Homo-oligomer: A and B are copies of this chain.
Amino acid sequence: MNFNSKPVKGFLLDITGVLYNSDPNTIGCAIPGSVEAVNRLYAESMVRFVTNENTRNSMHLADKLTKLGFVLKEEHIFTPIPEAIRYLRAHQLRPHILVHKNIAKEFVDLDINHPNCVLIGDAEEGFTYEAMNAAFRVLHKMNDPLIITLGCGKFYQRIDGPCMDVGGFAQALRYACDAKIVGIGKPDQQFFKAAIDDMGLTPDEVVMIGDDIVSDVGGAQKAGIRSVQVRTGKWRQSWLSHSIKPDLLADDLRSAVDMLLQKTVE
C-alpha cells in the first residue's frame, strides 16, 4: 500500500507524542509545527483524533490542547472511554474499576455490583499494590476471569522520561489469574473504524499518523489503513528493524502533513 494508488481524503492523528509532549507538572508543550499542521488539515482535508489517553476525558483533552494553541473540536477526539462503556453495557459486564482518578466519574452510571470483570486504565499513581491486589481478588474468584483494558500500551513518553502504560499492569493481572484480556482502543480495528465512519470515509481513503509502532502503525495497517510513523514522542531508532513497517516515516506531524497533502494534490 502506498500514497500514489489512492488519494488521502482524511487523517487520523494520535495525540500524545504527535501533537504535544506531556509533562507531569505542566500542561506539556506542543510539538513544533503541529498546531499549524492541524490547522492545514482542518482547512484542506478532514481530521479526527484517535487516542488511547484515558487519564482525562475528551472535554479535558480538548481544553488542554486549546490551551496549547490547537484549534480543534472536542467531538473529533476519540478516546477509549465511551467505547468501553458501550462494550461493558453490550456484554452485561459489571466492572470492578481500576482507572485514573480523573476519569472515575465517567463510569458512575454503570452497574458495579457483584463485578464480573475488571476494567483497567492508566491509573498512574493509582497502581498501588493494594489497588492491584483488590482487582486480582475480584478476578481470582471467577471461573473465566476477564480484564477490559483501556488500550494495551507498553509505555508513553513524558517530558521527564518514558512511563509505563496500562498494558503492563493488565498483563500483571492476566498472569496472576490466567485471565483473558479484551483491549478497547488502539490497536483494535473497531476503534479506528468509529473515527473513519464519523468522516464518512473508508479505511483505504485515510491515513493514521502516530508515534507508536504497534498501537498506531500496526493497528491501522491491520484495519486496512495506511500509516505514518513520526520520529517524535516515543519514537525509537531501534524500530527501524521492527517487524511492523510504516507506509511512511516522517520527522514529525508537520512534515507528514506537508508530504501527504502534496501527494493528494498531485
Contacts and interface: CB of A to CB of B under 8 A. Distances in A.
Interface of A: 123-130, 132-133, 136-137, 140, 143, 154-155, 161-165, 167-169, 171-178, 238
Contact of A176 (B132, B136, B154): B154
A164 B133 contact: yes
A234 to B, nearest CB: 10
14 contacts: A124-B129, A125-B129, A128-B129, A132-B164, A132-B168, A136-B163, A137-B161, A154-B176, A155-B177, A164-B176, A167-B175, A168-B174, A171-B171, A171-B174
Given A125-B129, A126-B129, A140-B155, A168 B162 contact: no
A128 B133 CA distance: 12
* Copies of this polypeptide in the complex: 2
A252 to B, nearest CB: 22
Chain A to chain B: the 7 pairs with minimum beta-carbon distance, closest first: A168-B172, A172-B172, A168-B176, A171-B175, A127-B129, A168-B175, A136-B164
Contacts of A178: 154
A47 to B, nearest CB: 30
Contacts of A172: 164, 168-169, 171-172
A130 B137 contact: no
Which secondary structure dominates chain A's binding surface?
Answer: helix
A233 to B, nearest CB: 14
Nearest to A126: B129
A152 B133 CA distance: 16
A164 B126 contact: no
Nearest to A165: B176
B124 A163 contact: no
Nearest to A162: B140
A178 to B, nearest CB: 8
B162 A173 contact: no
B127 A132 contact: yes
Contacts of A154: 175-178
Contacts of A171: 168, 171-172, 174-175
